[in-house]
Amino acid sequence: MSPRTGRPIVGKEPKNKQIALRATETTVNKFQECANITGKTKTDLLEEMVNNLYDRLTKK
């Protein structure tokens, strides 16, 4: 049997979806600087921001 191919799953779910967006150069630079400062990937930062916003909006 051949070995599995593709990227390994990190975490609980596969990251098989993409998000594309348009942003200003300033916003992109700030986002990159946040990634550099925290040592996290931009994907991890985006997921963290979305989860925080979702929790705030759905908090009862």
- In this structure, what token pair is assigned to residue 9? 């799953």
User: pLDDT value at position 3?
Assistant: 74
User: Stretch 25-35: mean pLDDT, rounded?
Assistant: 98
Does position 5 have pLDDT exceeding 90, yes or no?
no
Cβ–Cβ < 8 Å for 45, 31: yes
Global pTM reads: 0.77
pLDDT given for residue 1 in this prediction = 66
pLDDT confidence band for 31 (50 / 70 / 90): very high
- The more confident residue out of 37 and 60 is 37
| Domain regions of the chain by residue span | 25-58
